[in-house]
Chain A
Amino acid sequence: MTTRFGKLIGATALAFGLSGPALAQVQVEWWDFLAGGDGVRMKALIEQFNEEHPDIQINGTTLEWGLPFYTKVRTSVAVGEGPDIMTYHLSRLPLALEEDVLSPITAEDLETAGLATADFFESSITAASTDDGQLMAVPFDIHAVVVHYNRTALEGTEWLDADGNLAGLDSIENMTALLTWAKEQGYSDPLSFQSEGGGGTWRMFYTLFKQQGGEMLTDGEVLAGDNMDKAVTAIQTLADWRAAGLIPEQAAYEASVALFSGAKSVLHINGVWEVPTFKDQSEAGTLGFEWFANEVPQMMDQPATWADSHAFAIPNDPEMSEETRAAVLTVIGWMEKHSLAWAGAGHIPAYKPTVESDDYAALQPNSTYASLADNAAFDPRSKIAGVASPIYDAVDNLIAPAVHGFLSAEDAAQQMKDQLQGLLN
C-alpha cells in the first residue's frame, strides 16, 4: 500500500518535471517500542539515515511497549500488513518461534547488510538464534538494570571509592546499612525502583535470584529443588526492605524515576535506558545533584544482573519484495555501524567494533558499567518467559503483592511455580 503510494508520489513528481530519483525510492515501514529517553536517540538515528540515503526512506512508528506491541506484530504479520522491520526483545524469541512471526536471517542477508556473526557478542548471537543455530534477528544491544546514584549525597561516605564509584556493597546487610543511613538522612525512599509490579519488580527479583545462582526453569520444571528457597529469599529481601521503608511502596514506573530525580532516593535501580534521561538533566543543570551509574553490586553469592537484548527482526512476510528486503538489510547494517549513538542511549551495543572503539571508552558512565555484560542474566529461554510474558504477569500478580505485604514470600513463590508450571504442561 505504502510503496504503491510512494510510487504514485514519484510518478506525480516525474510528471511535474521534478527530479527522477524519487521514483526509485524504497519505503521501509519501521515499528519500534522505544518511547523513553532512548526513543529520542533512535528517532535521531532514523532521521540521519534518511538524510544520508535518498533512495531509502524509513517511516518510523513507535507503538506501546509490551503486550500491545507484540499482539500487534502477531496479528499484522498474519494478515500480511506488518512492518518491514521492527525492534524485538530477544527474550521474546522462543515465543516468536512458536508463533512463526520472524523471517530467518541468512548468511547472504548478513553479507548484504555488510555484517558477519563474528562482529557480535556471542551471547547475543546465541540469544538471536534458534536451538539449531539459525539466526532469526540481528542483535542491536544488550541492556540491563544499573544502579543510578546520587553521588552528591554519598560524598564522603564509605560507600564511594576514590573514583566516586559505589563500593563496599558486597552483602545484603551492607546494602541495608547504606539504605538505613540514607533514611536517617531524610531520604524518604532510599532505593527506588518500579515496585508496583510488572517489569521493575521482575528485574529486581531476577537480579537477586540470579545472584544466588537460581534457575527459574530446569528440564521443564519451574523453580525445581532449592531454587524455590532462592526465590523466597529474593522476595523476602525486598519485602523486608519495604517493611523498613527502604524501598518505595507501590511506585509506578514514572513515580520511581521521579523519586530519584526529586532527591527522595539515593539509589535508583532501573534500566540503562534511563541513562539519557538523567544525563540530559545533568547537562541542563536541572537535576540538582551529581548523578552516576554503576553495575548493580554483587550482594549475594555471585555477580548477576537482569539483562535483555534489543534486536532488529524482519517479519515473516512471503510477499516482501527483494528490493524492500535489501533496503531493510541496508538499514540494519547502517544502524549497527552507527550504534555509538545508541550507546549514548545507555545500551551496550551488541556490535563489538563499537564497544571496542576509543569513542565508546570515553563514554561515561557507559564504559564504567559495560562490565555487566559479563554478568548479564538473561530471562530463561522459554515461551512463558520474556517481555510481557506469563512470568511478567505472575510477578505483577503475586511477587509484587508479596513485597508489599499482602502475601507471604513462600505463598507467592509457590503460587508462581504452580501457575507457570500449569502453562508449561
Chain B
Amino acid sequence: MSKMNRRRRELRAAILLIAPFLFVFTLFFLYPTYKVIAMSFTDAPLIGEGNWVGLANYTKLLGDKLFYTSVWNNFYFVLLTVIPTTIIAMLIALAVSKLKGRTQALVLTLFFLPYVLPVSVVTMIWAWMLDFQFGVLQPLIAAITGKPVPVFKNPYWVMPMIAVVTIWWTNGFNVLLLIAGLRNIPEDLYEAAALDGATPWQRFWRVTWPLLWPVTALVLTLQLILQLKLFDQVYLLSNGGPFNSSYVVLMQMYREAFQLNNGGYASAIAMVLFMIIVVVSVLQFQLLRIGGRRK
C-alpha cells in the first residue's frame, strides 16, 4: 500500500470520527450563534423576523440603567462565589484525600450528591428551609441576628444567600477536579520533603499548592464562566428582586425575550454577556497561568 493511500485512508477515518461532533456543533452552536448575532441587529419579536435596525439595540443597551445594575450584580455574585467555592473545594479535597478506601468513596459521594440534583429541586429545598414563616433554618438565623430574616426578600441578604445555595449545589464537581489534581502529585515528592524535615505547612505550600495550581486555575476559570451565566437560582428564588438587588444579565435577557417580546434587544443583551464572558475568562486564565509560572 502506498503512503499516499494510507494517508488518504487516515484522513477519511478522521473526518468520519469528527463528523458527528462537527454536525452537532454546527447545528446547535454555530448556527444559533450566527442567528443571535444577526437577530441582535434587528427589531425582531421573540419568534419571527424583524427589520434591520443596525446598532440601535446596542446603543439602547448602553443607555439602559437596568443593564448596568445587572452587570454589577453579576460581578458581585462572581466575587461571592468563585474564590470561596474554590477554597472550600480545596479544603474538602485535602481532607477527603487523607481518607482511605470505602470511607473516601462514601464521603466523596456525599459531597457530590447535591451536584446531581436539578436546580428546581435545589432551590425548592432551600426555599423551604429558609421560608420566613415556617423554615427550619429560621431559628438558627434568629439565634445569630436576633430575628428571622426573609433572606430572598432582603436586598442585603439575597445575593449572599443565592451564593451559599449555589456553592452547596455545585461544589462537588470542583472537589472531584481537585482530588484528581491531588492524585497526580507523585508520592515521592512528599517523601523527599519529609526526609528534608518539611513541616506539613511547608509541604502544602512548597509541594501541593504549586503542583495543584493548574487544576486550581481551571476550577477558577470554569467557575467564573458558570457564575457569570447565573440565571436559574435567581429566577426561582428571588425573581431579581427586591428592587432589582438580584437582577442579573440573563434575567434581563429572559424578561425582554419572553415577557416583553423583544427578541432583537434580548439577542443584543446575550451578545454583550457573551463578549464579557469571553474577555473576562480569557484574561483571567492567562493571568492565572502567568501567576502560576512565577512560582
Residues of A within 8 A of B (CB): 67, 71, 74-75, 78-79, 95, 98-99, 196-198, 248-252, 255, 258-259, 388-390, 393, 396-398, 400-401, 404, 406-407, 415, 423
**Segment touching A, from B97-105, B148-156, B220-228:** B148-156
Question: Across the interface, which residues of B come within 8 angstroms of A79, CB to CB?
Answer: 47
Q: Total number of A-B contacts with CB less than 8 angstroms?
A: 82
Question: Smallest distance from the beta carbon of B177 to chain A beta carbons, Å?
Answer: 34
CA distance A196 to B48 in the complex (A): 37
**A197-B242, A258-B134, A393-B240 known; 17 other A-B pairs, CB under 8 Å?**
A71-B258, A74-B46, A198-B239, A249-B150, A250-B133, A252-B127, A255-B134, A258-B133, A389-B259, A390-B260, A393-B239, A397-B241, A398-B243, A401-B155, A401-B241, A406-B242, A415-B243
Whether, in the assembled complex, B244 has its beta carbon less than 8 Å from a beta carbon of chain A, the answer is: yes
A390 contacts B259, C-beta separation under 8 Å: yes
Question: Smallest distance from the beta carbon of A251 to chain B beta carbons, Å?
Answer: 5
A74 contacts B47, C-beta separation under 8 Å: yes
Against A, the Cβ 8 Å flags (1 = close, 0 = not) of B146-175 are: 000010011100000000000000000000
B153 contacts A400, C-beta separation under 8 Å: yes
Cross-interface CB contact of B239 among A75, A255, A396, cutoff 8 Å: A396
B132 contacts A251, C-beta separation under 8 Å: yes
CA distance A241 to B98 in the complex (A): 57
Question: Smallest distance from the beta carbon of A82 to chain B beta carbons, Å?
Answer: 12
CA distance A423 to B260 in the complex (A): 8
B132 contacts A406, C-beta separation under 8 Å: no
From 86 to 142 in chain B, residues with beta carbon under 8 angstroms from any chain A beta carbon are: 127, 131-134
CA distance A407 to B261 in the complex (A): 30
Question: Across the interface, which residues of B come within 8 angstroms of A255, CB to CB?
Answer: 131-134
CA distance A354 to B255 in the complex (A): 40
With both beta carbons as reference points, the residue of chain B lying nearest to A75 in the complex is identified as: B47
Question: Smallest distance from the beta carbon of B68 to chain A beta carbons, Å?
Answer: 15
Question: Across the interface, which residues of B come within 8 angstroms of A398, CB to CB?
Answer: 241-243
Could you jot down 26 A-B contacts, CB within 8 Å?
A71-B258, A74-B46, A74-B258, A79-B47, A95-B261, A99-B45, A196-B132, A196-B153, A197-B239, A197-B241, A197-B242, A250-B132, A251-B132, A252-B131, A255-B132, A255-B134, A258-B133, A258-B134, A259-B133, A388-B259, A397-B242, A397-B243, A398-B242, A401-B153, A406-B155, A406-B242
From 230 to 253 in chain B, residues with beta carbon under 8 angstroms from any chain A beta carbon are: 239-244
Question: Across the interface, which residues of A come within 8 angstroms of B47, CB to CB?
Answer: 74-75, 78-79
Interface centre among A98, A248, A255, A389 (most CB of B within 10 A): A255
Question: Smallest distance from the beta carbon of A113 to chain B beta carbons, Å?
Answer: 29
Question: Smallest distance from the beta carbon of A184 to chain B beta carbons, Å?
Answer: 21
Known contacts: A75-B47, A250-B153, A393-B255. The answer to whether A400 contacts B132 by CB under 8 A is: no
Known contacts: A196-B153, A249-B132, A255-B131. The answer to whether A401 contacts B259 by CB under 8 A is: no
CA distance A398 to B155 in the complex (A): 11
With both beta carbons as reference points, the residue of chain A lying nearest to B153 in the complex is identified as: A250
CA distance A4 to B132 in the complex (A): 50
B244 contacts A397, C-beta separation under 8 Å: yes
Known contacts: A249-B132, A249-B150, A255-B131. The answer to whether A396 contacts B261 by CB under 8 A is: no
CA distance A415 to B69 in the complex (A): 15
Question: Across the interface, which residues of A come within 8 angstroms of B241, CB to CB?
Answer: 197, 396-398, 400-401
Question: Across the interface, which residues of B come within 8 angstroms of A251, CB to CB?
Answer: 132-133
CA distance A320 to B134 in the complex (A): 48
Question: Smallest distance from the beta carbon of B199 to chain A beta carbons, Å?
Answer: 51
B153 contacts A197, C-beta separation under 8 Å: yes
Question: Across the interface, which residues of B come within 8 angstroms of A401, CB to CB?
Answer: 153, 155, 241-243
